[in-house]
Amino acid sequence: MTANNDIKIKAKEKGICLWEIAERLNINDGNFSRKLRKELPDSEKAEIFGIIESISQSKTAAAEE
- Contact between residue 24 and residue 51 where contact means Cβ atoms under 8 Å apart: yes
Single-letter amino acid, residue 38: K
* pLDDT interval class at 59 (50, 70, 90): very high
Residue 40: DSSP 8-state: P
Phi, psi of 37 (to 5 degrees): -65, -30
Tell me the domain boundaries of the chain.
5-64
Helix axes 42-64, 5-14, angle to 10 degrees: 10
Render pLDDT for 8-40 as a digit per residue (tens, 0 to 9).
Answer: 999 999 999 999 999 999 999 999 999 999 999
Phi, psi of 39 (to 5 degrees): -55, 130
pLDDT of 9: 97
